[in-house]
Structure 1
Amino acid sequence: MKKNDIIITYGTHISKMVRMVLDKAELALSIPKNARIGIKPNLVVAKTHDSGATTSPLMVEALIQYLQEHGFYDIIILEGSWIGDDTKRAFSISGIEKVAEKYKVPLLDTKDDTYCKIQAGPIEMEISKTALDLDFIITMPVLKGHCQTKITGALKNFKGCLSDKEKRHFHTLGLHRPIAYLNTVLHPGFILMDGLCGDLDFEEGGNPVPMNRIVAGLDPVLIDSYVASAMGYEPDEIDYIKMAAELGVGSMDLEHANLMVLEKDTCPVKTIRSRKVQALAKAVTEKNACSACYANLIQALARLEERGLLSYYKKHPVCIGQTFRDQSGNSLGIGSCTCRFIHSVPGCPPATADILKGLLTGLNTK
């Protein structure tokens, strides 16, 4: 696998999806023999995966199965939930504790670890000694929003390797700059991102959007640039992505990234109970849409709402779904299924950024 590769697959058979991605990446070949491997999920709070906040235990299980089948048994799962939450409870509630017990993989609450003071550029940081001593880290962030930094992904996921004191310090520094410098010290060997279900705009969950995708790569800056784009932002709108790129952590060049889609989405949209998503859905006429296409549309509508521009589409909903194949229409259509509409955003699924441009263009023509 190359640094500019991004592997993406869609579906609902999580174990199969993970295995497909790992086989395509040839992960086993990139891990040193007898390596001490750390798996770093995102368990910022003690919630289940369907909240949109935490890493799927099924993904963690499939990863461990793959590693052990390839002869890697020196594995540890490590995490430190945010200040005020209990990591051990998060391990239990999330279902990852059961996975760890099943495969005899130890869990480490980094809040109980010893810390090393490491100079990361101009910032001295307290970082988990275990994390620093690992030979290979597989980070498993969730593709989701964040109330302060807009998104959270691979770069920010290492914040769980800090002491609580250091987490507070990061917030006093404004998060972006220290996150960028943290990634000059901790480096992922592999990124296996949970894009199955992530919150629209809050790291604690509550407004989950099923996206049914898994994303993998080697470059945390490139992966987070993809995350930003998937949520309707330009990567350079997220300061810590731009700063990390400037520090040489990775590349923001999505234009020259090699996107490898293994399987396209064919999963129908399920009822989403989130009130915020339901409010955004009032701007949509959905008929047999696939989940990834619909999720990208919801993300684009959320960005439109942030600009105070959603009201027009609540009166004139956009159309999305396979039922619109071979149909024409005057409304704005989303995806290849609406290609016969007068105005349609192409793609299967279309990118969130392209949908947002289509929505804005539609407003400008009225």
Structure 2
Amino acid sequence: MGMEKNEILVIYGKKIEEMAFSLAEAADLADLIRDRDRRIGLKPNLVVARPAADGATTHPEIARGLIRYLQKNGFQNLVILEGSWVGARTGEAFPCCGYTKLAQETGVELIDTQLDSSKPYDCKGMKIEICDSAMGVDFMINLPVMKGHCQTLMTCALKNNKGIMPDKEKRRFHTLGLDKPIAHLNTVAKNDFILVDGICGDLDFEEGGNPVYSGKLYAARDPVLCDAWTASQMGYRPEEIPYIGLAEGLGVGCGDPAKAVIRELSPPSSAIETTPSGKARQYASFIEEDQACSACYANLIFALSRMNHNELNRIKGKICIGQGFKGKPGKLGIGRCTLSCDASLKGCPPGGADIIAFLQKQV
């Protein structure tokens, strides 16, 4: 079965390369691309030279799984292209993040867009310079990381396309306030297929340091719907991320997460195996966890991080979460495994925005 424009395909697990391959199969990606001679671009997020485990960059196993799928299906004209943020060098990020080795082993070309030529495009009323290598691609696969951002609150598919611009344009985006130019950029930037790295995105910052382990990947075809749904998972309403609504208004896609059709390829059944680190450990102190799935636990951490100090202090007792609470009593529970608690939020997993609304009613 192929993939509709309003669908989001979700897969959970630990074998990242196989998960990416399975998402490509489920989406029938080869049929979406069709022509085997088309030039296919893979655009990861390599904002800085930090390994993916720090929560800032796209796991190379995702690109490896997609490349294996594409080459198996007869696609050979492949390229990985990216430009790190201003002040960092993509030439350092490629080897640090595992992409130099990946390119050598698969024969796929690497392009550093920081070194690329560019030209201006009319992006629905705003002139924006875009790198020639990105515009020369026939089919673009966007590989963003689901993570926080200190200025735009979150970053995913739409913002990831900043990497296909020269550094001078990235600087200009910041002078314009980011939201409006990000929306306009995506009227021209290609988002033919999106596969989001939701394994362990950073809680707050684009450059990593506070990873929250979620253990999932998901695929989409509509970048606006993808970001709207991502926002809801992280505890935001889409209207809190202005570029989502602006992009919808420019005709880029749908900004209503309620219209997303979620198709799960596997259940979120693996219990968490990582210890919360950095800022995430602060929020873990509010939780009593027993065999919790990574996706459910991560959404609770994201939700707690969005609540203010007074709300957090009014939470009475620990918040129960995990399969170990099936049939057991408790005061406050998150997820369908805690239905025996006095107050419980259904969902497997419930989204971060729903968790916030639930907890605010209890305090």
SS in 1 for 2:162: helix
Q: Please list the CA deviations of residues 84-131 of structure 1 after superposition, one character each: whole Å capped at 9, or x if unmatched.
A: 001011111111111111001110000111111112233221210110
AA partner of residue 88 (structure 2): D
Tell me the equivalent position of 1:318: 319
Task: Give 1:255 shift.
Answer: 1.6
Q: Could you tell me which residue of structure 1 aligns to residue 15 of structure 2?
A: 13
Query: Partners of 2:31 and 2:12 in 1: how far apart?
Result: 24
The CA deviation string for residues 254-294 of structure 1, in whole angstroms up to 9 with x for no partner, is 22221101101122212335221111111111111111110
Q: Is the 8 A contact 2:10 2:264 kept in 1?
A: yes
Q: Does 1:358 align with 2:358?
A: yes
Query: 1:308 offset after TM fit, Å?
Result: 4.3
Question: Which amino acid is 1:50 matched to?
Answer: A
Give, in whole Å, the separation in 1 of the partners of 2:91 and 2:277.
27
Q: Give the gaps of 5 or more residues in structure 1.
A: none
Of 261, 284, 289, which aligns to 1:286? 289
Q: Tell me if structure 1 keeps the 8 A contact 2:56–2:147.
A: yes
Measured after TM superposition, the shift of residue 297 of structure 1 is: 0.5
Q: Give the letter aligned to residue 22 of structure 2.
A: M
SS of structure 2 residue aligned to 1:6: strand
Tell me the SS of whatever aligns to 1:333.
strand
In 2, the alpha carbon distance for the partners of 1:82 and 1:283 equals 35
Partner of 1:147: 150
1:174-253 matched pairs, under 5 angstroms: 174-253=177-256
- Go from structure 1 to structure 2 and tell me whether the alpha carbon gap of 1:193 and 1:89 turns closer, same or farther (over 3 Å shift): same
1:225 alignment partner, SS class:
helix
- Superposed CA RMSD: 1.1
1:164 to 158, 163, 167: 167
Q: Cα distance, 1:32 vs. partner?
A: 3.6
**Any idea what the Cα deviations from partners look like across 1:114-161, whole Å, max 9, x if unmatched?**
111112233221210110111000000000010000010100111001
Q: Structure 1 residue 46: deviation in Å? A: 0.5
Give the AA of the match of 2:341: F
The amino acid that maps onto 1:162 is: M
CA–CA distance in 2 between the matches of 1:258 and 1:290? 22
**2: CA distance between counterparts of 1:309 and 1:37?**
48
Q: Which region of structure 1 is more displaced relative to structure 2, 13-22 or 169-178?
A: 13-22
Could you tell me the TM-score, scaled by structure 2's length? 0.97
Match for residue 260 of structure 1? 263
AA partner of residue 332 (structure 2): L
Q: Are 1:58 and 2:61 an aligned pair?
A: yes
Q: Which amino acid aligns with 1:176?
A: D
The 3-state SS of whatever aligns with 1:232 is: coil
CA contact (8 A) 2:124 2:250 kept: no
Conserved 8 A contact 1:209-1:272: no
Tell me which of 116, 123, 128 is aligned to 2:126: 123
Alignment of 1:80-159 (within 5 A): 80-159=83-162
Give the Cα separation in 2 of the matches to 1:144 and 1:66: 26
1:126 is matched by which residue type in structure 2?
E
Return the alpha-carbon distance in structure 1 between the equivalents of residues 258 and 327 of structure 2: 32
Alpha-carbon distance in structure 1 between the residues aligned to 2:247 and 2:174? 17
1:43 corresponds to: 46
1:23 counterpart = 2:30: no
TM-score (norm 1): 0.96
| Equivalent pairs, count | 360
User: Which segments of 5 or more consecutive residues in structure 2 lack a partner in the other structure?
Assistant: none
Percent identity over paired residues: 48
